[in-house]
């Protein structure tokens, strides 16, 4: 082959799953979560500088495939992510994802990365950021209802960012609880497996719901929720999938990422279109009040938003510097003369 090798611009750094895991350990998982929380909060503080659009979803009977783009005018990102609740039956992930950063000025990709792992971390970091702004001060105990792929990440983010010391676990499948307990051994958290949701939420100041079934479920009913609680609702994140009884929403102050998207996908899909919510960026930037008194019930109705992925990809890109934890991907055709794409193809044959 006599054609010239691809130029630097044509090579896109790629972070594989294996390299992402190495990067997380290289930084340290709790430090990674703390720094990522700060990066996401910084981007929420400049929320108005981003292009925002509800994600573009392709729904099927089995699940959904989504594209989540955003841009701050200098950097563009998107994430490809699926949600297929029944995948686990076949031993597959419910959610897999990858994403990209590109230069707005040229349109050239500058990073492609796995995001299954990274999405778990950014979701946990976003939850921790919300809790830091909304949970009662001095909260030390969190209940986690639904002990699937998100559970440990949520636990460690709340420990590292908010000072949570005790995690109380419940899942309809005791093996999921046992898996989570085992994984959190040695984390420094006190971990208590519980036999009912009621037992799990007793004395918890924060309740995280992250169940996977795609249905209108009622993981929490109104009588379970006492005054002063912060609810971190992760699992109600697409049309037809909710976790909370609507009476809880009526007693809570509800905080969301991007209202137009959350009204379609979040817990508030159960409520009228004018149900009052506060976008979290307004709390972070000081424009709106978060928690006003110790009796208030705060609810973070989290569905995941493109800006969080943007933050996570930028953080990964910065953290890759000085490591060898990426490969170069020959994904951009870059002929010597940009008008001579055909010549590049011809020379490849010679």
Using the minimum distance from each CB to a second copy, give the nearer residue, 185 or 292. 185
Cα–Cα dist 134/326, whole Å: 37
Cα–Cα dist 53/307, whole Å: 10
The conformation of residue 314, written as its DSSP 8-state character, comes to: H
Which has the closest alpha carbon to 97: 208, 21, 13, 17? 17
Helix (H, G, I), strand (E, B) or coil at 35: helix
Would you call 237 a catalytic residue per the annotation?
A: yes
Q: Which residue in 4, 46, 73, 227 binds a second copy (CB under 8 A)?
A: 73
Task: Give the phi and the psi of residue 143 in degrees, each rounded to 5.
Answer: -95, 140
The active-site residue, picked from 237, 309, 336, 337, is 237
Q: How would you list the strands of the sheet with 97-103, edge to edge?
A: 56-59, 64-71, 75-83, 97-103, 109-114, 11-15, 327-330
User: Binding marks (x or -) toward a second copy, 188..217, rule CB under 8 A?
Assistant: ------------------------------
Asked whether position 49 contacts a second copy by CB under 8 A, the answer is: no
Using the minimum distance from each CB to a second copy, give the nearer residue, 66 or 279. 66
Using the minimum distance from each CB to a second copy, give the nearer residue, 92 or 288. 92
State the minimum distance, in angstroms, from the CB of residue 168 to a second copy: 18
Please report, as residue ranges, which positions from 151 to 190 form the binding site for a second copy (by CB under 8 A).
151-153, 176, 179-180, 182-183
Window of 270-278, 286-294, 315-323, 338-346 that interacts with a second copy by CB under 8 A: 338-346
Asked whether position 250 contacts a second copy by CB under 8 A, the answer is: no
Window of 56-64, 188-196, 201-209, 274-282 that interacts with a second copy by CB under 8 A: 56-64
Using the minimum distance from each CB to a second copy, give the nearer residue, 20 or 297. 20
Residue carrying the six token digits 């930084």: 27
Which has the closest alpha carbon to 117: 89, 102, 95, 146? 95
Q: Which residue in 13, 63, 197, 235 binds a second copy (CB under 8 A)?
A: 63
Please report, as residue ranges, which positions from 290 to 329 form the binding site for a second copy (by CB under 8 A).
329
- 149: Cβ–Cβ under 8 A, 6 or more apart, which residues? 93, 94, 95, 120
Tokens of 137: 């001060």
Cα–Cα dist 201/20, whole Å: 34
Using the minimum distance from each CB to a second copy, give the nearer residue, 7 or 198. 7
Window of 38-46, 57-65, 199-207, 251-259 that interacts with a second copy by CB under 8 A: 57-65
Please report, as residue ranges, which positions from 2 to 31 form the binding site for a second copy (by CB under 8 A).
6, 9-10, 14, 16-18, 20-22, 24-25, 29
Cα–Cα dist 116/105, whole Å: 28
Catalytically annotated residues: 237
């Amino acid at each position: 082959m006599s054609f010239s090798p691809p130029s630097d611009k044509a090579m896109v750094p790629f972070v594989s799953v294996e390299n992402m895991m190495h990067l997380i350990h290289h930084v340290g998982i709790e430090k990674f979560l703390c720094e990522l929380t700060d990066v996401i909060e910084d981007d929420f503080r400049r929320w108005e500088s981003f292009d925002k659009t509800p994600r573009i979803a392709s729904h099927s009977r089995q699940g959904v495939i989504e594209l989540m783009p955003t841009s701050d005018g200098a950097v563009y990102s998107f994430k490809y992510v699926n949600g297929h609740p029944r995948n686990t039956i076949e031993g597959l992930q419910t959610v897999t994802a990858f994403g990209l950063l590109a230069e707005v000025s040229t349109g050239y990709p500058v990073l492609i990365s796995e995001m299954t792992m990274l999405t778990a971390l950014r979701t946990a970091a976003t939850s921790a950021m919300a809790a830091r702004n909304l949970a009662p001060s001095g909260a030390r105990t969190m209940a986690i209802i639904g002990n699937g792929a998100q559970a440990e990440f949520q636990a460690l983010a709340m420990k590292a960012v908010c000072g949570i010391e005790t995690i109380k676990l419940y899942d309809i499948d005791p093996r999921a609880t046992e898996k989570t307990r085992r994984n959190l051994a040695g984390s420094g958290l006190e971990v208590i497996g519980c036999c009912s949701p009621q037992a799990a939420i007793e004395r918890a100041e924060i309740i995280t719901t992250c169940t996977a079934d795609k249905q209108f479920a009622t993981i929490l009913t109104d009588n379970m929720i006492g005054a002063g609680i912060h609810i971190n609702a992760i699992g109600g994140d697409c049309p037809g999938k909710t976790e909370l009884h609507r009476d809880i929403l009526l007693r809570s102050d509800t905080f969301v990422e991007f209202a137009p998207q959350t009204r379609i996908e979040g817990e508030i899909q159960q409520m009228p279109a004018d149900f009052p919510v506060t976008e979290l960026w307004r709390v972070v930037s000081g424009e709106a009040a978060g928690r006003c008194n110790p009796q208030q019930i705060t609810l973070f109705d989290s569905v995941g938003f493109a800006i969080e992925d943007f933050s996570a990809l930028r953080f990964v890109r910065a953290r890759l510097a000085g490591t060898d934890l990426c490969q170069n991907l020959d994904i951009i055709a870059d002929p010597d003369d940009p008008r001579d794409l055909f010549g590049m193809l011809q020379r490849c044959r010679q």
